């Protein structure tokens, strides 16, 4: 178990306007940033569960409640672009007790587009890289392999979201949050965020021009961990970029997966595996944990 820790508001000031000076106490919220690092634990090597965490407590995860999941490399690629992907997805959904009609996907294109789903929305959605929903029956699924899955849950409206955030689509987490605010009056302070597994700054080298432009757009004065550095040399930290974006927007509860897709062979990695990479399915929804029979 990794330690949890709390960053007091005055240490958030370096993030710039709005980060450290939100009104404290409006709902018992202290304005502090709470960070919960964790490692993935796979059941039967195929699926890892992890909860949204707020004030140190997992949110209704042990029974019927909102939760997050990711498939492993050994569960096979979940890519819609290869024929075996649909077989693997079907097997995964069955293992979760999910009817495929409950599962919403989008056609991922590394954009910052987010779909606000309704129960009647198409299950295989148009081009976008994120979805939000408030349907307790819905499960949102994206695929990732080095890119970062960002899971969001509004503890007040019970709306939830999931986005696929690579270097190109960084900023999409804010789009999802803004859509939640517009639709459900979501308060960022009431949101629990999870930054899932991705290629870590240990391994994510890019060319100098990309590093420079990423730093210009998402970097800045480094705050306390995990708020920087967003770019170190020519290595990008997707989690730090997203933590900064979310914290600047007012989010205060962030769980952070510490497993790097490039070095952890339980995980799919485009950079490590090459063209036949394993696209992992990231899922969020109101799972019945007891129905989660491992594959």
The stretch near Zn ion (CB under 5 A) out of 23-31, 117-125, 183-191, 261-269 is 261-269
The stretch near Zn ion (CB under 5 A) out of 3-11, 176-184, 249-257, 258-266 is 258-266
Nearer to Zn ion, 200 or 228 (CB): 200
Residue with tokens 């987490």: 173
Q: Answer yes or no: are the C-beta atoms of 115 and 138 closer than 8 Å.
A: no
Verify binding: residue 268, Zn ion, rule CB under 5 A: no
Output the residue with the shortest Cβ distance to Zn ion: 260
Smallest gap, in angstroms, from Cβ of residue 262 to Zn ion? Answer: 5
The stretch near Zn ion (CB under 5 A) out of 104-112, 145-153, 192-200, 240-248 is 192-200
> For residues 196-255, which are near Zn ion according to CB under 5 A?
200, 202-203
Nearer to Zn ion, 72 or 133 (CB): 72
Smallest gap, in angstroms, from Cβ of residue 165 to Zn ion? Answer: 17
Nearer to Zn ion, 199 or 247 (CB): 199
Neighbours of 2 (CB within 10 A): 11
Q: Answer yes or no: are the C-beta atoms of 271 and 206 closer than 8 Å.
A: no
Nearer to Zn ion, 30 or 234 (CB): 234
For residue 167, give both structure tokens. 């270097």
Smallest gap, in angstroms, from Cβ of residue 284 to Zn ion? Answer: 24
> For residues 84-143, which are near Zn ion according to CB under 5 A?
none
Residue count, binding to Zn ion (CB under 5 A): 6
Nearer to Zn ion, 98 or 260 (CB): 260
Q: Which of 263, 291, 293, 294 binds Zn ion (CB under 5 A)?
A: 263
The residue ranges that bind Zn ion (CB under 5 A) are: 200, 202-203, 260, 262-263
């Amino acid at each position: 178990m990794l330690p949890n820790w709390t960053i007091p508001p005055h240490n958030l000031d370096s993030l710039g306007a709005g980060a450290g000076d939100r009104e404290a106490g409006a709902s018992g919220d202290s304005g502090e940033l709470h960070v919960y690092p964790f490692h993935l634990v796979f059941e039967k090597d195929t699926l890892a569960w992890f909860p949204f965490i707020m004030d140190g407590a997992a949110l209704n995860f042990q029974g019927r409640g909102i939760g997050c999941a990711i498939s492993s490399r050994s569960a096979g690629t979940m890519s819609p672009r290869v024929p075996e992907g649909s077989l693997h997805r079907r097997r995964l959904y069955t293992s979760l007790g999910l009817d495929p009609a409950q599962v919403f996907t989008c056609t991922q294109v590394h954009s910052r587009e987010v779909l606000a789903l309704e129960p009647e929305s198409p299950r295989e959605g148009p081009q976008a890289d994120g979805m939000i929903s408030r349907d307790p029956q819905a499960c949102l699924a994206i695929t990732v392999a080095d890119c970062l899955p960002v899971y969001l849950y509004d503890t007040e409206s019970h709306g939830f979201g999931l986005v696929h955030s690579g270097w190109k689509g960084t900023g999409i987490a804010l789009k999802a949050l803004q859509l939640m605010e517009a639709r459900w009056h979501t308060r960022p302070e009431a949101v629990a965020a999870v930054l899932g597994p991705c290629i870590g700054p240990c391994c994510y080298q890019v060319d100098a021009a990309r590093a420079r432009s990423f730093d210009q757009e998402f970097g800045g004065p480094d705050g306390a961990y995990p708020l920087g550095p967003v770019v170190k040399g020519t290595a990008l930290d997707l989690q730090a970029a997203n933590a900064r974006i979310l914290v600047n927007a007012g989010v205060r509860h962030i769980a952070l997966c510490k497993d790097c897709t490039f070095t952890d062979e339980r995980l799919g990695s485009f950079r490590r595996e090459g063209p036949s990479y394993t696209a992992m399915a990231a899922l969020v929804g109101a799972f019945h944990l007891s129905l989660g029979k491992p594959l």
